[in-house]
Amino acid sequence: MAENITKHFTATDNNTNAKNELEKSLDQFFLIIMGIIVLMMQCGFAFLEAGSVRSKNTTNLLMKNMLDSFVAGIAYWTLGFAFAHGEGNSFMGWEYFASSSLPNSRLAFFFFHYVFAATAATIVSGALAERCEMLAYFVYSFVITAFVYPVVTHWVWHPDGWLRAGLTFEVNNMTLNISFHDFSGGCAIHCLGGTAAFFGALFLGPRIGRFHEESKTVLQVRGHSLPFTALGGFILLFGFLAFNAGSQSSLSKPGDGTAMSVIVVNTVIAGSTSGFVTLLVHRIGILGRTWSLLSTMNGALSGMVAVCSGCNVYRPWAAPIVGAFAGVSFNLISWLMCRFKIDDPVDAVAVHFGGGVWGVLAVAFLKYESGILMSWNMLSALLLAWQLVGLISIVAWTAAMSSLVFGTLKLTGTFRVSADMEIKGLDIPKHGEPAYPLESYGHGYTENITTVMDDGQLSSTHIGNQNGTVPDGKDVGPYESPEVKVMNNHADHHRDAMTAETTVVLYSFSKDQQTGGQVNSALVDYDESTAL
């Protein structure tokens, strides 16, 4: 009897289907794991920004960074993903609102791009630290993640997006296709976030006492915890590896492993070079003569931002070039921000805008085989032109939308906290939860307090909990809480200094207290002025 050979074809088909399903599952798992690591960057931003502000605003910054993820989750799910990745036209999409009709197989893709959207929004919060109202924060975070960022990513990453579709040219009987190259969002995420941060800081204005008009000095308002800032920076450096490698989007296709190896190596080299260049700039006398940890860390982050756009098309020798110029751009923009009296407490504009701008242009010069340094021809020239078109378009779009949002908030009086609240700090009045409540210090905390009190005595009215309640049960309000009293004991002197237009020192101490007294850094912060 003849054998029925169709069963062999059925078995082969089943094996093929199983292989395809396994590949899809691996790719989805890869996106989820990379997305989770990128989401950890929110923790990095939180620590970096919280350590960069004074202790009276720590809770406020931590809460804002936590809420970034929540606001982005709602905004990107309801509107953002549809505008970014839904079917539509070359400008924006309009499918999958609130994940309606979105296949379950694409939910991993949604999650990965949601954490990208959250990153774009959280870049802005650091530049507006210590003076921005909570309502304003909710508004601009929602607008960025629901509309501003998704429209840009539709241009850059959706097949129908006008920047990705590019242009076709006929040159010497040859057809040249030019497409905007921004692999992991150096322009679409970081340049966008940096632009929004710039306009936010511009409309919001500097912190009280940050700049002095007559003496042309910049008051260095130091953050309260360098270890916090360093920890946040290390988390971000780690997260960038997943940020860039995850943009490969798949693990199962031929060449994916090699591509991710190139991406990770380029990211590490660019960050290392940029950090080292920044360290030298601050050591050899150009911007100082110290081994600056903060500047080195921000320089390294700027290098990793810069390499985002082309980390998949660079040979490793190109990465240090990208990193070196990123270090220069970071220091230049940081200096210019101070020169033009735009207050950015965490150098978000210098890191993300500076790195993003240079990074997206570097692709045209250093792209393997077709960059200007590889082969100077019409193709490389057109690539540079199209990268410039994309950069200008993204910056212009973000600038226009940011000006509209921040300008409206400023006109309605809902953008900035009152001067009195800014001086006293946002933790107690806004949250009722100081980052460092006095009663938590335990043995010896009284000695810490008396060090910074005018009369050297701690009265019973200064003893209470963080919501302002004193032992007799009388609620004296948040401004009368012991933390605010201690940290703002010299508020009257501060106001007098502002009136006289002298250099503002938020917490003034006598010379013997600064040199001989043991002042707890969690309770007081030092402000030093340096000439521009």
Q: Is position 419 within any domain?
A: no
Give the residue ranges of DSSP H helices in 412-525: 419-424, 445-452, 482-487, 491-499, 511-516
Angle in degrees, CA 192, 196, 201, rounded to 5: 150
Report which of residues 113 and 476 the model is more confident about.
113
Band the pLDDT of 287: cuts 50, 70, 90. confident
Query: Could you read off the pLDDT of 94-116 as tens digits, one per residue?
Result: 999 999 999 999 999 999 999 99
pLDDT for the residue 488: 52
**Residue 161 contacts residue 155 (beta carbons within 8 Å):** yes
Are residues 380 and 477 part of one domain? no
Are residues 284 and 221 part of one domain? yes
Is residue 50 over pLDDT 90? Answer: yes
Are residues 441 and 404 part of one domain? no
Domains: count for the chain: 2
Band the pLDDT of 511: cuts 50, 70, 90. very low
Are residues 376 and 500 part of one domain? no
**CATH code of the domain covering residue 386:** 1.10.3430.10
pLDDT for the residue 63: 94
- Main-chain dihedrals φ then ψ at residue 212, nearest 5 degrees: -115, 120
- Determine the average pLDDT of the residues in 181-199: 97
pLDDT for the residue 7: 53
Is residue 361 over pLDDT 80? Answer: yes
Task: Decide the pairing of beta strands 217-221 and 211-212.
Answer: antiparallel
DSSP lists the bridge partners of residue 212 as: 217
d(CA 131, CA 125) in angstroms, rounded, equals: 10
Report which of residues 170 and 528 the model is more confident about.
170
pLDDT for the residue 483: 52
Is residue 477 over pLDDT 70? Answer: no
Task: Report CA dihedral (337, 147, 187, 338) to the nearest 10 degrees.
Answer: 0
Is residue 475 over pLDDT 80? Answer: no
Query: Could you read off the pLDDT of 118-168 as tens digits, one per residue?
Result: 999 999 999 999 999 999 999 999 999 999 999 999 999 999 999 999 988
Q: Is position 173 within any domain?
A: yes
pLDDT for the residue 18: 85
Query: Could you read off the pLDDT of 238-274 as tens digits, one per residue?
Result: 999 999 999 999 998 999 999 999 999 999 999 999 9
Report the percent of the chain where pLDDT is more than 90.
67
Q: Which of 411, 446, 475 is the last residue of a domain?
A: 411
Q: Is position 392 within any domain?
A: yes
Least confident of 66-80, 338-352, 398-412, 441-455: 441-455
pLDDT for the residue 462: 41
Report which of residues 326 and 2 the model is more confident about.
326
Q: To the nearest whole number, what is the mean pLDDT of the chain? A: 84
pLDDT for the residue 470: 40
Are residues 98 and 164 part of one domain? yes
Residue 383 is part of which domain span? Answer: 25-411
Is residue 525 over pLDDT 80? Answer: no
Q: Is position 268 within any domain?
A: yes
Is residue 460 over pLDDT 80? Answer: no
Q: Is position 426 within any domain?
A: no
Report the percent of the chain where pLDDT is more than 70.
80
Nearest CA to 465 out of 489, 431, 434, 444 is that of 434
d(CA 235, CA 477) in angstroms, rounded, equals: 37
pLDDT for the residue 482: 53
Q: Is position 246 within any domain?
A: yes
Report which of residues 477 and 312 the model is more confident about.
312
In this prediction the pTM is 0.82
Report which of residues 170 and 325 the model is more confident about.
325
Q: Is position 428 within any domain?
A: no
Query: Could you read off the pLDDT of 20-39 as tens digits, one per residue?
Result: 889 999 999 999 999 999 99
d(CA 94, CA 298) in angstroms, rounded, equals: 38
